[in-house]
Amino acid sequence: MSGGVLIGLILGTPLIGAVLISLCGRWPNVRETVTLTTAISLFVLVSQMIGPIAAGETLRLSLAEPIPGLEIAFQLEPLGMVFAMLASGLWIVTSVYAIGYMRSNNEPYQTSFFAFFAIAICGAMGVAMAGNLLTLFIFYEVLTLSTWPLVTHNRNEAAKQGGRVYLGILLATSIGLLLPAIIWTYSITGTLDFTPGGILELDSISPLAATLLLTMFVLGVGKAAVMPMHRWLPAAMVAPTPVSALLHAVAVVKAGVFTITKVVIYIFGLDFLATLPLEKFLVYLAGFTVIAASLVALRQVEIKRMLAYSTVSQLSYIVLAALVLAPFAEIGAAIHIVAHAFGKITLFFCAGAIYIAAKKTRVDQLHGIAWRMPFTMVAFTIGAVSMIGVPPTAGFVSKWYIVAGAFQVDNFFVLAVLAISTGLNAAYFLPIVFRAFFQAETVPPAKDHGEAPWPMAAALTLTAALTILFFFFNGPVVDFEKGILEVAS
Amino acid sequence: MRNNGILRIVARFLIPLILLFALYIQFHGEYSPGGGFQAGVVFAAGWILFVLIYGLEAGLKVIPQRAMVVVMACGALLYAFIGLLGVLLGGHFLDFAPLLPSAPKGAQQAGIILVEFGVGMTVATVVMLIFTMFAGRKSQIHLIDGIPDSEPVTYPEMNQDNSANQSTDTAAETRD
Amino acid sequence: MVAIGVTRIRDLFAATMLFAIYSLLSAALFVLLDAGDVALTEAAVGAGISTILVLAVLTMTRRYEHPSNTVNWPALAVVSVTGMCLLWAVSDLPDFGDPTNPVQTHLAPYFINNVYSDMGIPNMVAAVLASYRSIDTFGEVIVIFVAGLAVYTLLSVPPRTPPKPQPKADANQPENRGDH
Amino acid sequence: MTLIEWMPFSVLIPLIAAPVCALLPGRVLPWTLTFVSVLASAVICALVLPMAVGEGPLSYAFGNWPPPVGIEYRVDAVNALLALLISAIATIILPWARVSVNDEVPDRQGPFYALFLLAMSGLMGITLTGDVFNVFVFLEISSLSTYALIAHGKNRAALLASFRYLIMGTLGATFYLIGVGFLYIQTGTLNMVDLAERLPALADDRAIRTAFGFIIVGMGLKLALFPLHRWLPGAYSNAPSMVTVFLAATATKVAVYVLLRLVFSVFGVEFALAMPFEEIFFTLGAVGIFFASLSAIKQTSLKRMLAYSSVSQIGYIALAISLISTAGLSAGLVHIFNHALMKGALFMCVGAIVYRIGSDRFADLGGLAKQMPLTMLAFVLAGLSMIGVPLTAGFISKWALISAAIEAGNGYAVGIVLIGSLMAVIYIWRVVEIAYLQPAPDNADMSRRREVGLSMLIPLWILIAANFYFGIDTRLTLDIATRGAEVLMGMTP
Amino acid sequence: MAFLGHYNYYIVVVLMMIGFYVVIARGNMVKKIMGLNLFQTSAFILFISAGKIMGGSTPILRDGVEVYSNPLPHVLILTAIVVGVATTAVGLALSVRINEAYGNIEDDLLSEEEPDDFALTQEPSRDDDSS
């Protein structure tokens, strides 16, 4: 199969899935089968690309040329490969989980839920495989718009409010900052292709303007949730948990940091960025976000909101790592995308499972719950440990690389941020674990409950297992990423 | 006014004269000031004078409203037709030369006379029509004003309108 | 001047009469300016048709204008500024009646010299109107046709009297303003 | 007959069909005649366009009198594109309009359609002609018929709106006429090409400058440039739906065209640069975008909201023109085209909604997405185009506009465009929220709240498809617009 | 020389401004339409006076006349007059209908009733011809 066809299929599969899902709305079983089939075939298709990419082939597909000299084109590289694998693989798990969640909660509008979910995945795939900034931007917006119906799924006042903040911030940043940044770049360089080593040069743009441009990119990618553009993420927590789990812990936010990483590596280029005088400012901003978001998370009582702020903080790790501009840190950024995905999706799955089984949403209600839902809480613990960055979990690996990267360039600010945030992470995750395992139930639950339905329990167990497995088997991913850096620098 | 004898007699002299003058302006337009437009207006003025004296009903008996609409369209169409004739005979739109290839001047004259006649037709009838509409409107209003205010007014026309409305709705419904 | 009278008088009937006089005067002016055709038209239209129509309307509406004694200063300001511009502009216009005007030297000679050889008719206005620029005149016929059609469609709708009862027919009609 | 000889018939066919149409009885015949003639006009335009783009200006002299003496139609890339736009939009609207017109104008449809034909051919005539006075005549044809069409609205407010438009429109036309008068007095000609040759010698002439100002004010009134826009919301929101769709998609665009043609082709770029043209257009455009968007956000009914949105979109075009560069003009032309597509589609949705539920107030729209899913989906998609989301036509305009602004080094313009887009998000999304997330109002007549028929849906979705097509394949729009801009800037003969 | 040579234009300007003022300042619709007519008529005079040539005569060919006034403005103004009367007719028809619908034809009164976006004292942008 030629590369172009493969890319086309990867983009088309979720779309066809979405159409079929909306057509099968009347028969839930058929619909769910379609969802799962689509998810699995997508994963298989994406994994077909590993071979060629590892062999250094270029897969390219160009669809149209909406603006003279600018194509809607796709070109896969290792970083995108990882992202695509992650999103498509976790889609399967999340689908299983979502089926359990939606059914046992008797949610309305399930058909549109699954359909928009598929479209959102298509958006994520497009972002992952984009061959230039324009294409990336297009699918970035597809992702934004297709997740709005998911965020407002409940169609009540709270959902409406959340949806407003969500769409407002994401569209405002992308149209208001990202788009002009892209057009500016285009008008300077005449191209938007992702080119190893970057397309911006010192003689075409003054350092000050370049810094401004970089700031526009970093803030314009609202999905990366760098403060002060992070507000949408807690707001999006009104969505059903599967949405929070896959999209707001994996696909959407990762699309954000992925975009920033891509821009840093392929548009600016590490060497060029290193010459910029004010680039540190963004490092500080990201570092500030890490700490501040952790502090806010500390004070949350709702599990999902706490997780959301934790996500904000973890995302800025990645941004921070990307902006450290050391090869190791870039690898760390890429790996943290994976590591955080596994950990955070586990945590969200657990939160959803607790909600479905026990109807509990607050941290202070979890006393002794581990004895009723052992799988769930063990998985939660694994996820939490990974967030803190303790071996043998995925989170440790990425932190390792980021720290190593910071040492490469002697960036002690980053080291300090990492140290402090690790402490803060521990401070808000461990009490929950402690409470769940070692404290007695204060209030008897409304109904006697055990684990959540099996699809959910299975899904969360699987992701927890992945979190641990990644610690041991991260070699391929690391090798993969080293490849790009060799090309890049 | 209608019963004023003097007016009637004066009008009986004047109106034919006015109409004659109109025709003179119409067809003598190439030699002296005047042309289709002025002729149309003057012609209409004669008719309006007639209406003012003999009443709208009498006026409409001479030239019914429907006829005005038709003639008004025909005037414009006559103009267009002359224009198209030029195209059909191989020239440009409104090119009169091909009408009489042997005598270009004559062709131009013929074209001008014909289009001016079209202008005259349209202008005369439009002016008459506009006047009719305004004058007719007045009588309709007086009719309604005659109904005492205290009564809940029902407008027969309105109801018709309404039912027409509904019937269209249903028609549309079935088509859907 | 008569025009000022038109603006000042609140009695619309009188204003109409003044307006008719004004039209006649301008028709006379047109004659002085050698524009016979235009004069004829202006007399017929301005003094005749327009007047009759306005009178017809006035019999249906009120004769007196709603009193508003204040001078509309913003409007006056706008008008003065525009007037200033125009006065400023006309100072660069060529002198009145000067035979060396661009108007007289560019296209006019063509018409004056060629009309007879092209068409064999003496009235240049008719020639230009109906042949050289006949598409304009076609447009003019269409304009007057539109006017007839517009008035016809507008006024053949059965009348309803002033606001008293909102006719029932309105119930299923969209009232597009929010305050209803 | 050659193609050039067919060209004027894109105007003449509807023009001649109109008197016939006025006489036709019933409902089917007038509609059929209108549709056929409009379609013929569109076909001619579509055939002429490639030739006009490829071979430069095509000239057709009426009555076979050579141009400065007679009147010519002169077609190049700019007006060929616009003529195609007008006739194509009219062709798409007509199938859609049948049901809606039956509902809103139950009687005397012959004259109604005749007026529509006249309005359309008037606009076409303005677009194609090469004579400044002929512009005035056709302007009046289209204006007068538009006034009458607006007055056909069901509301009594339609009459008032029509009257106000009449006053403003006639003022605008008279301003234009005075401007033309000055031009004529100073040059002795009315032909655009002839004028363009004679004007440079008179660049410092006060009368010419005033003529420039008067023409701009006059056309500003017609195109609803910001402070002169006040007739527009009333006219758009009270006219019959079909008329609104047509006007919103075409009428103001034609006024923009006249402005472009006169300012760039007749007066010339140097003259425009010597006048404070850029500053005024930039300021008015920017302020217009901002305030009109703000007003759009404040509205509580769809038609008015979209009408204000139109005013703000005109601001974009003004902004694009004010850059006085090829890129800017091409962005303006592209936006003229794309805006017609999206606004047409949006107003079609509103027309469908009004047809079904008899109201366009926000309060009545709750839950409509469930009952009219296809219409509302179309609204969302067209709205996305309005916002300028990628893959839509709106994105292309925005991209072109921002690129042009960056190229001209005008950071403020970039900011204004972006703020405008964000405000568009707010007003479009308000509607989306209501339609998708709010339950239907209690007093809603559920039996009426159904999807409209295919006769409305198909044209609507054709426009939506066009919105996406021209968002992805821009060869037609961007290339021709760039070519048109070059013509206007005088870069090519 | 300049002043006297331009007296026709000054008349035009004065008339024009009177008409313009009536249109935008007066509330009565019939009055507005009259104002519009005044405004238009003044524009007509502008054209016609431009076509006048000293010592010329009506542009109808006759023996013994050498100098004719320019016929083109006459043609234009004929058309413009027709346009003007057409507008007047439509405007008047509209005011009749408005009178029936609202009970009066005073635009300022109706503005209170129908809060439209049109104010009588709207500020046209004058800035563009004051260079």
- DSSP letters spanning chain B: -TT-HHHHHHHHHHHHHHHHHHHHHHHTTTTSS--HHHHHHHHHHHHHHHHHHH-HHHHHHHS-HHHHHHHHHHHHHHHHHHHHHHHHTTS-TT--GGGSTT-HHHHHHHHHHHHHHHHHHHHHHHHHHHHHHHHHHHHHHHHHHTS-SSSPP--HHHHHHHHHHHHHHHHHHHH-
Please check the confidence at residue A249 and state whether its pLDDT lies above 80: no
- The Cα B135–Cα A205 span in angstroms is 75
Q: How far is CA C31 from CA B33, C22, C27, E59, in A?
A: 11, 14, 6, 12
Q: Which of B94, B157, B158 sits opposite C134 (nearest CB)?
A: B94
Query: Is residue B155 one of the residues assigned to a domain?
Result: no
In 10 A of CB D61, how many CB atoms?
21
D249 neighbors D344 (Cβ within 8 angstroms): yes
Closest CA relative to residue D162, chosen from C56, E87, E40, C165: E87
B134 and E82 within 8 Å at the Cβ level: the answer is no
- Helical segments of D58-131, H only: 77-104, 109-128
Q: How far is CA C177 from CA B96, B162, D71, D234, D295, in A?
A: 54, 22, 45, 10, 14
- DSSP letters spanning D160-171: HHHHHHHHHHHH
Residue of E nearest to C45 (CA): E85
C153 and D137 within 8 Å at the Cβ level: the answer is no
pLDDT tens digit sequence for B53-90: 887 888 788 888 888 888 888 888 888 888 888 788 77
B175 and D61 within 8 Å at the Cβ level: the answer is no
How many cross-chain Cβ pairs, A to D, lie less than 8 Å apart? Answer: 76
Q: Among B161, B168, B169, B174, which would you mutate to test the D interface (most chain D Cβ atoms within 10 Å of its Cβ)?
A: B168
In 10 A of CB A108, how many CB atoms?
12
D114 and C89 within 8 Å at the Cβ level: the answer is no
Q: Which of C102, C132, C176 sits opposite D237 (nearest CB)?
A: C176
pLDDT tens digit sequence for E38-81: 888 888 888 887 777 666 666 666 666 666 777 788 888 888 88
Q: How far is CA D21 from CA D25, D144, D239, in A?
A: 9, 17, 21
pLDDT tens digit sequence for A297-317: 988 888 888 988 998 898 888
- The Cα A290–Cα A422 span in angstroms is 10
Length of chain E: 131
Structure confidence at residue A444 (pLDDT): 66
Structure confidence at residue B140 (pLDDT): 60
Q: Which of A134, A137, A167 sits opposite D429 (nearest CB)?
A: A167
Structure confidence at residue D43 (pLDDT): 92
Average confidence (pLDDT) over A68-87 = 83
The first and second tokens of residue D452, run together, are: 């409209």
Domains contained in chain B, number? 1
Could you tell me whether strands A60-67 and D72-75 are parallel, antiparallel, or unpaired per DSSP bridges? unpaired
The first and second tokens of residue B122, run together, are: 């349209």
Chain E: closest CA distance from residue D211 (Å): 8
Structure confidence at residue D382 (pLDDT): 92
D113 against A190, higher pLDDT: D113
Structure confidence at residue B144 (pLDDT): 47
Q: Which chains touch C (3 or more CB pairs under 8 A)?
A: B, D, E
Instruction: List all residues 6 or more positions away from D283 whose beta carbon is below 8 Å from its beta carbon.
Output: none
pLDDT tens digit sequence for E22-50: 777 777 788 888 888 888 888 888 888 77
Residue D301's DSSP bridge partners are: D361
Which B residues in the span 53-72 are in contact with D, Cβ-Cβ below 8 Å? 69-70, 72
Average confidence (pLDDT) over A165-184 = 89
Judging contact as 3 or more Cβ pairs under 8 Å, the answer for E and A is: no
**Residues in chain B within 8 Å Cβ distance of C130:** 35, 111-112, 115-116
B92 and D63 within 8 Å at the Cβ level: the answer is yes
Chain C: closest CA distance from residue D164 (Å): 16
Chain E contact present for B13, CB below 8 A:
no
The first and second tokens of residue B141, run together, are: 């209003």
- The Cα D47–Cα D54 span in angstroms is 12
One domain for residues A3 and A90: yes
Please report, in angstroms and rounded to a whole number, the separation of the first and last CA atoms in chain C: 47
Please check the confidence at residue A207 and state whether its pLDDT lies above 60: yes
**Residues in chain E within 8 Å Cβ distance of D70:** none
* Phi and psi at residue D27, to the nearest 5°: -115, -30
Chain D contact present for A159, CB below 8 A:
yes
Which B residues in the span 58-117 are in contact with E, Cβ-Cβ below 8 Å? none
Identify the helix (H) or strand (E) that includes residue D215: helix D206-223
Judging contact as 3 or more Cβ pairs under 8 Å, the answer for A and C is: no
B41 and C142 within 8 Å at the Cβ level: the answer is no
Q: In chain D, which residues have pLDDT < 50?
A: 492-493
A64 and D473 within 8 Å at the Cβ level: the answer is yes
Q: Among B32, B123, B130, which would you mutate to test the E interface (most chain E Cβ atoms within 10 Å of its Cβ)?
A: B130
Range of the domain at B9: 5-148
Low-confidence winner among A324-328, A419-423, B155-159, E18-22 (lowest mean pLDDT): B155-159
pLDDT tens digit sequence for A346-355: 999 998 888 8
Chain D contact present for B142, CB below 8 A:
no
The first and second tokens of residue C68, run together, are: 């508003």
D374 against B93, higher pLDDT: D374
Q: How far is CA A1 from CA A8, A49, A131, A299, in A?
A: 11, 10, 19, 52
Q: Which of D391, D425, D473 sits opposite A171 (nearest CB)?
A: D425
- The Cα E71–Cα A297 span in angstroms is 86
Domains contained in chain A, number? 2
Peptide bond into A228 cis (omega under 30): yes
Query: Is residue B175 one of the residues assigned to a domain?
Result: no
- The Cα A28–Cα A43 span in angstroms is 23
E29 neighbors E88 (Cβ within 8 angstroms): no
- The Cα C71–Cα C75 span in angstroms is 9
Last residue of some domain: A237, A254, A277? A277
DSSP state, residue C65: P
- The Cα E90–Cα E112 span in angstroms is 24
b vs e for A433-462, b when ≥16 Cβ sit within 10 Å of the residue's Cβ?
Answer: bebbbeeeeeeeeeeebebbbebbbbbbbb
Instruction: List all residues 6 or more positions away from A286 whose beta carbon is below 8 Å from its beta carbon.
Output: A218, A226, A316, A319, A320, A323
**Residues in chain C within 8 Å Cβ distance of B28:** none
Instruction: List all residues 6 or more positions away from C31 whose beta carbon is below 8 Å from its beta carbon.
Output: C39
Residue of C nearest to D133 (CA): C136
User: What is the C-alpha R_g of chain E?
Assistant: 19
C141 and B141 within 8 Å at the Cβ level: the answer is no
Q: Which chains touch B (3 or more CB pairs under 8 A)?
A: C, D, E
- The Cα A361–Cα A352 span in angstroms is 9
- The Cα A285–Cα A340 span in angstroms is 20
Q: Among D13, D131, D135, D137, which would you mutate to test the C interface (most chain C Cβ atoms within 10 Å of its Cβ)?
A: D137
The first and second tokens of residue D455, run together, are: 């006769």
Range of the domain at A385: 278-489
Residue A132's DSSP bridge partners are: A193
Which A residues in the span 42-101 are in contact with D, Cβ-Cβ below 8 Å? 63-68, 72
Residue of B nearest to D356 (CA): B169
Q: Is A71 helix (H, G, I), strand (E, B) or coil?
A: strand
Judging contact as 3 or more Cβ pairs under 8 Å, the answer for D and E is: yes
Half-sphere exposure of A119 (CA within 13 A, CB side): 20
Chain E residues within 8 Å of chain B (Cβ atoms):
58, 60, 78, 82, 89, 92-93, 96, 100
**Residues in chain A within 8 Å Cβ distance of D436:** 149, 152, 155
Domain map of chain C by residue range? 1-65, 98-158
Q: Which of D398, D403, D437 sits opposite A152 (nearest CB)?
A: D437
Chain A contact present for D430, CB below 8 A:
no
Average confidence (pLDDT) over A130-147 = 89
C57 and E85 within 8 Å at the Cβ level: the answer is no
Chain C contact present for D68, CB below 8 A:
yes
Query: Is residue B17 one of the residues assigned to a domain?
Result: yes
How many cross-chain Cβ pairs, B to D, lie less than 8 Å apart? Answer: 64
Chain D contact present for B97, CB below 8 A:
yes
Residue of C nearest to E54 (CA): C97
E125 and D151 within 8 Å at the Cβ level: the answer is no
- The Cα D422–Cα D399 span in angstroms is 15
Q: Among E16, E117, E123, which would you mutate to test the D interface (most chain D Cβ atoms within 10 Å of its Cβ)?
A: E117
**Residues in chain E within 8 Å Cβ distance of B33:** 58, 60
One domain for residues A384 and A244: no
Please check the confidence at residue A248 and state whether its pLDDT lies above 80: no
Q: What is the ipTM of this complex?
A: 0.82
Please check the confidence at residue A123 and state whether its pLDDT lies above 50: yes
Instruction: List all residues 6 or more positions away from A31 whose beta carbon is below 8 Å from its beta carbon.
Output: A21, A24, A25, A110, A111, A114
A199 against C176, higher pLDDT: A199
C46 and E37 within 8 Å at the Cβ level: the answer is yes
DSSP state, residue E57: B
Residue D73's DSSP bridge partners are: D60, D129
D102 and B74 within 8 Å at the Cβ level: the answer is no
Please check the confidence at residue B141 and state whether its pLDDT lies above 70: no
Q: Which of D144, D232, D275 sits opposite E131 (nearest CB)?
A: D275
B86 and D20 within 8 Å at the Cβ level: the answer is no
**What's the mean per-residue pLDDT of chain A?**
85
Mean pLDDT per block of 10 residues along chain C (180 residues) reads: 56 74 79 76 78 79 62 74 76 68 71 70 72 82 88 76 41 38
Structure confidence at residue B120 (pLDDT): 85
User: Left, alpha or beta for D268 (phi > 0: left; psi -120 to 50: alpha)?
Assistant: left
Q: Among A183, A192, A232, which would you mutate to test the D interface (most chain D Cβ atoms within 10 Å of its Cβ)?
A: A183
The first and second tokens of residue B110, run together, are: 């013929």
